[in-house]
Amino acid sequence: MADGLRRLVGAESGRVLQEKLESWYRDYEINSCDQNLNRCCEIIELNSEIQGQLFTILNETSREGGHYAGVETIKTRLLPWLGTCFSCATSGRLFETNLSLTQDSIEKERQLRELASNQTFQLQELQEELTSTRLQLSHVQQDLKTSCAQEKDALRKLDRLNDYEQQIQILRDEISILDAQKSVLQSRFVRSRSPSPRHSESKSPSPLPLRSCSPGRARRTNASRRACLVARFGDIYAQERLDAETLLRTYISDMEMVQRIIYIAAVESFHAAKTAYRQFKIRVRDTLSLGHSGPESLEDTVLDYIVRHEDLYDVQASVNEVIRSMNINPKISFPPEIDFIVISTLIRELCRVAFSMQTLVPPLDVAFGTDGELFSETKYHRSFDSDFTAALVAYHVWPALMENDVVIVKGEAVTKRGALWSRRSRSRSRSRSRSTSPLLAHHLSRSRSPSPLRSGSPRR
């Protein structure tokens, strides 16, 4: 209502009507009949336009008051006036009818103009909202880019800090070794100057056992190493997994088989790395237990040594073990002319990450999953091609990362109705007999078994 009244006041229609009436009154005597009629029609048209606007304001005002507000006023003032207008003499009915038609046409034209004006105004408002939304989206995207850059920068700083700590520890170990060698040389020099034949014939003592001069380093860096390894596990999912998927798609047209191969490769990589870690830890413990002494526990000393010498891990032997396990897995198949060695890059990176995760306290591992298990929202994401109404897992795409029984990183699974039974029927009829490729045999023959302890300064 306020907008309509403001437009009526701004148009100054009442003032224009008054001016036209005064002008007509001054010129009435000197005007001809046609001129006076034209002046009268102009004033009637202007008056009808003002009345139309007033009726519009009346309608909007009564609507703002609700269903029953203003009823008495309309009854006592508006309806009697309208009845008086409709009871005019019938002698001028034809003129009034034509005038009414003219007023209706003018009113419709006015309504169309107002409707067009309102639509234009609404369109401008929508355009302004769209511009504001785009600007907000641009700000959100910029903030997201900034957050991603800051996260990457933090990860790089963690990696750099870990490298600095490793270098410091290496230098401390070298100092400890040099001190031990210095003590041995000094004792030899003293015995060589001694006149006793017994001392001259005695054998030189064995070097002191190499120990870290800052025990418990693995536990102190546990949090930073854990963050880096969890981030690396996510990077493998986002990069190496997709690269392996693209490579396998050139040989296998079945997308489900490709995803099954990658999932089994991830699970077998963690199994092989855990087995290698247990064997490596046993060898290190047996070696260090012979000369262990000091306030730190043997387990802390063993863990510190493994963290500092992870490059002694025979990752190629684990890769070969994973490929051997995949060759006898009945759930997956591969063309006979190609071998699983083509995804050895993915397997190698998974083995390295899995081995390093075993040095954490507590260690990280992947979740155990089977086809047909009940889908868990806390453990897996559904793949985009899944049936979101299905409750059972048809097959897994990527394992979930666990810390004890807590999910650290969600995995990915596919849920489909009836897909599990059709898959079982196909697996019964599949015959999988393949010989090892020459490339795989060459890699298997290169398996190495380095000693867990090395003489002298450790190499990085």
What's the gap between Cα 231 and its chain centre? 13
Res. 210 pLDDT band, cuts 50 70 90: very low
Question: Is 401's pLDDT higher than 50?
Answer: yes
Q: Say what angle helices 222-235 and 344-357 make with each other, to 10 degrees.
A: 160
Question: Is 106's pLDDT higher than 90?
Answer: no
Mean per-residue pLDDT for 446-453? Answer: 39
CB 261 within 8 A of CB 248: yes
What's the gap between Cα 425 and its chain centre? 37
Res. 108 pLDDT band, cuts 50 70 90: confident
Please give the Cα distance from 128 to 413 (Å, whole number). Answer: 43
Q: Say what angle helices 33-64 and 93-193 make with each other, to 10 degrees.
A: 50
Please give the Cα distance from 219 to 221 (Å, whole number). Answer: 5
Q: Say what angle helices 315-327 and 255-288 make with each other, to 10 degrees.
A: 140
Q: Which two tokens stand for residue 431?
A: 């015959």
Question: Is 202's pLDDT higher than 70?
Answer: no
Phi and psi (nearest 5°) for 413? Answer: -140, 160
Question: Is 382's pLDDT higher than 70?
Answer: yes
pLDDT tens, position by position, 222-232: 999 999 999 99
Please give the Cα distance from 443 to 340 (Å, whole number). Answer: 12
Mean per-residue pLDDT for 150-175? Answer: 77
Give, in order, the Cα–Cα distances in Å from 203 to each of 80, 159, 198, 244: 135, 46, 10, 58
Q: Among candidates 383, 394, 398, which has minimal Cα distance to 416?
A: 394
Q: Is the dihedral of CA 161, 167, 171, 177 positive or negative?
A: positive
pLDDT at 5: 75
From 92-106, 136-150, 291-305, the region with the lowest mean pLDDT: 92-106
CB 300 within 8 A of CB 318: no
Please give the Cα distance from 228 to 158 (Å, whole number). Answer: 7
Give the DSSP letter of residue 364: E
Question: Is 458's pLDDT higher than 90?
Answer: no
User: How many other CB atoms sit within 10 Å of the CB of residue 159?
Assistant: 15
User: How many other CB atoms sit within 10 Å of the CB of residue 425?
Assistant: 10
Mean per-residue pLDDT for 411-437? Answer: 61
CB 211 within 8 A of CB 177: no
Q: Which two tokens stand for residue 368?
A: 């155990």
Q: Which residue has the tokens 């666990």?
A: 402
Give the DSSP letter of residue 369: -
Residue 338, classified by CB atoms within 10 Å of its CB into exposed (0-12), middle (13-18) or buried (19+), is: middle
CB 296 within 8 A of CB 215: yes
Q: What angle do CA 336, 340, 346 make, to 5 degrees?
A: 160
Percentage helix, strand, coil for the chain under 3-state DSSP, each rounded to 5: 70, 5, 25
Which residues have C-beta within 8 Å of that of residue 299, sequence separation ≥ 6? Answer: none
pLDDT tens, position by position, 46-63: 888 888 888 888 777 777
- DSSP H/E element including 258: helix 255-288
